[in-house]
Amino acid sequence: MAPKICLLPADTSDSSTTTDLITFITLPHPRCSAPTRYLLHPTLGLHEFTLIPSRKSAPRSWLLAPTSPSTSSTSTTWLSSGHVLSDSSLYISTRLDPLFLLLPALLPEKSSASIAGRNLAHWTALLAPGSVARRHAEQRIRAVCDSVDVGGGQAYRVSEKKVMDVLMKKCQVMVEGGLPKSLEEEFVIKPLVKPLTAAPAPAAPLPTPTADGEGERILEVREDRKSSAGETLALPTPPETQQSTPLESTTTSTDTAADNNDTHLHQLLRLRTASQFLSASYLPAHIESTFLAHFAAQHDFTVLDTHLAELKCQRAELAAVRSSDFSMKRGLADEEADDRAEKRRKKEEEERKKKKTVTQGVKQLSKVNTRGMAKMTSFFKKVEPKK
């Protein structure tokens, strides 16, 4: 199996001892129950792997080398004597709360008791007394369970209310820390963008001059009227404080209220996006429905839903107006030009791909002068009978 490039968690303690204790474990994914590989760090806890695939449109390469030359006492083998990987994908290990992996076992679905029993076999092997996984799992179990003293020891009973509170707190932390840029733009900023319904007013047509110069006289009369109006309207104005203060205060208060309303809507949409992302990524289907219902009961999204419905209606009306406005439609010649450009681009891309797959020998043979030579197909034709 070819090696892969992974970014492992950094530890401030002695790396020579902790690196040897890092283990890779395979557990069912909490969302789809598919076998998934995780990393268990002795001090930093559980980590999941996020794949950053390499894009074919933008090839890239990695050059890995030791930071210092190896000595005889601390000799380290770096990919043997060298290794070339055709796949430049990068795996990044990020911390994962073990609670997500424990929830399917703590809150199993009633109709899948046998599946939950099979999944518990993995945890029986991992949660051995004194193991690293047991220590991290116990810390998270205490946060969502009620402890009961049984026979001198402690037993835990899962509390659904505590589970929902922990998940809601995670959503709040996600919003306070800031959503990723991709989520913010796609699910928060884009849905709240107001459609542009106002079109610029057409400019007034200038008077066309006639043969006897009527247009010039009209312009002169209008200029005289403007100059006279300017002279008559040049009156002393009262101090600015007497006129602008009430208007400015009203405008400022209106803008502040609008900004506060927009901020509140953005915050509500961030909370909803965080809850949907968390539930769709790490929660089973039966826990997801319960959590989203509990989350909607704790937060009032009526204002947000009303605002989104209004924006949707405005976009639909604007689309209907634009579809009936023939001045905004593109001409047939423009569409044909775009089609030709698209076909040309696809043809060039196919030719570029064909050139990449052609071997060096075929390239050299294509340069040979074959003028006057018979083609290869002529040797395989049927010989015509002689008359």
What's the pTM? 0.63
CA within 13 Å, CB half, 174: 22
Give yes or no for a contact between 133 and 101, defined as CB atoms under 8 angstroms apart: no
Sequence-ordered list of residues with C-beta below 8 angstroms from that of 154, at least 6 positions apart, any chain = 147, 148
What pLDDT is stored for residue 231 in this prediction?
45
**Residue scoring higher pLDDT (214 or 88):** 88
What's at 68, amino acid-wise? S
Give per-residue pLDDT as tens, 298-327.
999 999 999 999 999 998 888 888 777 655
Tell me how far CA of residue 9 lies from CA of 131, 282, 350, in angstroms: 20, 21, 43
Give per-residue pLDDT as tens, 142-175.
999 998 888 777 788 899 999 999 999 999 999 9
Reading the block at residue 118, the tokens are 């099979």
What's at 357, amino acid-wise? T
If we measure between CA atoms, which residue out of 4, 37, 3, 33 comes closest to residue 22? 37
Reading the block at residue 147, the tokens are 């402890």
Q: Tell me the pLDDT of the chain averaged across its residues.
A: 77
CA distance 169 to 180: 18
Q: Is a pLDDT exceeding 60 seen at residue 281?
A: yes
Give per-residue pLDDT as tens, 221-263.
455 544 444 444 444 444 444 444 554 555 565 666 667 778 8
Sequence-ordered list of residues with C-beta below 8 angstroms from that of 128, at least 6 positions apart, any chain = 134
What pLDDT is stored for residue 60 in this prediction?
72
What pLDDT is stored for residue 234 in this prediction?
44
What pLDDT is stored for residue 92 in this prediction?
92
